[in-house]
Structure 1
Amino acid sequence: MTSNPDLLPAAQRMAALLANVPDHRLDAPTPCADTSLGALIDHVSGLSLAFTWAAAKDLPEGGTQPPSADASSLPPDWRTRLPEQLDALAAAWRSPDAWSGMTAAGGVDLPGEEAGKVAMNELVVHGWDVARATGQSYAAGEDEIESCLAFVAPTVEQSGGKGVPGLFGPAVPAPDDAPALDRLIAMTGRDPSWTPGPVR
């Protein structure tokens, strides 16, 4: 029986990347089509809460909604709030109970085990997004990438490479010998060689 992946390294990496985002870059483009960096950070804030609730199976009254991606909704104190939310997310998924039974996130009912894999994938892929948008380096752990590929590859295959609404866009071709992270990024509809142009 394989152990459940630990979300803490990916969560801490995300927090470190966000700490280096200057205010004047919040309107910068990201590898996510039509999504500014500020909007992406708002999305990360929402998903960190949604998947913490999913792990605890303590869902908000009225059910869950897909995390927004709206820069104008980014709370003023996001720089202090988000690291705390990311720590709470990682801690919640360290409970074995989080990975069992059914839960919900983003308005979708799904097994706890799958929700945990989605949370890991969101942290890794959006961490790459933030790094690329801000010109920062990015190196995910091999075990993290393997966990993401184990979730993403079958999902992409089932969609015929056309993408999954709410998760990721149509897959981008990548060489079989490309690094594992590049293959993951391409599967989620991103160009592994994407750059925002000159970073101010």
Structure 2
Amino acid sequence: MDHMMPLMTRAAERTAGVVRGVRQEQFAAPTPCAKFDVEALIAHLEWVAELFESLGGKGPAVEQGPYTGDFPERAGRALTVWSRPEAWEGDSAAMGLPMPVLGHMFLVDMVVHGWDLAKATAQPYEPDPETVTVAVDFTGRMVEMGRQRGAFGPPVPVPDDAPAFDRLLGVIGRDPAWTAT
């Protein structure tokens, strides 16, 4: 927990900054996450924050709702729950996974979807290098489960000497060179 909370906080804050920079006229724009346009991606981020707030409190999985415009607040509440030591203990009855795995899943969602949204809305995005290192390690161990659960797509080839973040994107099915066309 001690090493993860600063990473989760930085990732959520960076993503919240990108969300705040989205203009309403960008809502229908495509994103690198093919199943979401910008508005749907923000709604997904809102759900991710709400879901992980509930899971961190040992609560149930929650259903995704429509866009509400309160991602930064939801992310803050999720971080508050995960800042308690008991959030990291045991397994999640709702997800059937150890709580530390869920903490890492939240981190990866924040980092990757922050990038998705930044690319889609032409905003700068530079993930924290330590966060990327942890996310690369985690996804390397969990990628097959992620694909089976539909969280990750087929891998996108990325050169072995590409930056770590590009390799992370490739392994989970994102093209680091994606552009809206």
TM over 0.5: yes
Aligned counterpart in structure 2 of residue 74 of structure 1, from 47, 50, 67? 67
Tell me what 2:114 maps to: 127
- 1:66 is displaced (CA, Å) by 5.7
| Structure with greater proportional helix content | 2
**1:185 corresponds to:** 169
Unaligned runs of 5+ in 1: none
Q: Deviations over 1:111-155 (max 9, x none)?
A: 100000000000000000000000111111111111111211122
State the distance in 2 between where 1:187 and 1:15 align.
Answer: 24
TM-superposed CA distance for 1:110, in Å, is 1.1
How far residue 31 of structure 1 moved from its aligned partner, in angstroms, is 0.2
Q: Is the CA contact (8 Å cut-off) linking 1:163 and 1:171 kept in structure 2?
A: no
The match for 1:165 is: 149
Residues 1:64 and 2:48 aligned together: no
Structure 1 residue ranges, 4+ long, deviating more than 6 angstroms after superposition: none
Q: Which moved more, 1:31-40 or 1:125-134?
A: 31-40
Q: Is residue 2:128 matched to residue 1:141?
A: yes
Tell me how far apart the structure 1 counterparts of residues 3 and 48 of structure 2 sit (CA, whole Å): 23
Deviation at 1:94, TM superposition (A): 1.9
Identity over the aligned pairs, expressed in percent? Answer: 35
RMSD, matched Cα: 2.0
Quote the Cα distance in structure 1 between the aligned partners of 2:148 and 2:43. Answer: 21
Aligned to 2:84: 95
**CA deviation after TM superposition for structure 1 residue 181, in Å:** 0.6
- Is contact 2:54-2:62 (8 Å) kept? no
- How many residues are treated as equivalent by the alignment? 180
The one-letter amino acid paired with 1:179 is P
What is the TM-score normalised by the length of structure 1? 0.83
Closer/same/farther in 2, CA of residues 182 and 66 from structure 1, 3 Å limit: farther
The answer for the alignment partner of 1:35 in structure 2 is 36
Q: Indicate whether 1:52 and 2:53 are aligned.
A: yes
* Alignment partners' CA distance in 2, 1:55 and 1:138: 27
Partner of 1:175: 159
Question: Scaled by the length of structure 2, what TM-score is found?
Answer: 0.91
Counterpart Cα distance in 2 of 1:84 and 1:193: 31
Shift of 1:10: 0.8
Any conservation in 2 of the 1:5–1:144 contact (CA below 8 Å)?
A: no
SS of the equivalent of 1:44 reads: helix
Correspondence for 1:14: 15
